[in-house]
Amino acid sequence: MKRDGSNNSFWQTIDGQNFPTDFSDLEFDTIIVGAGITGVTLAKELQDTGFKCLLLDKENPGFGTTGGTTAHINNFYDAHTFSPSTIGCKNYAKQYSSFQPAFYKSYPD
């Protein structure tokens, strides 16, 4: 699969490893589809807590969206910008915290 754009990503040019496709004798607690930054991070976090994970991807790890970026994990936060000078730092922090992942804990005033 060729990525869009004029330059090849590092992830396009490395030789991937092929692993066996018969997992019938193995057991996993979870299967993660997609070996980009999100899938790899999730697999690591789950494995660190004792889960057995199977990480699957049709390409090399990091090939898709992750490979097409320049170490920029997600543009979601960039799409929601607020000016601290116009709304105040406290309000800015409250609005920004509403975009955090589920594991992020916000504290009351």
CB 40 within 8 A of CB 97: no
Rounded mean pLDDT, 47-60: 87
d(CA 86, CA 6): 40
Top pLDDT among 91 and 67 is at: 67
pTM to 2 decimal places: 0.52
DSSP at 106 = P
Residues in CB range of 87: below 8 A, 6 or more apart? 95
Say what the pLDDT of residue 56 is.
87
Instruction: Enter the tokens of residue 60.
Output: 């090399």
Radius of gyration of the chain (CA): 19
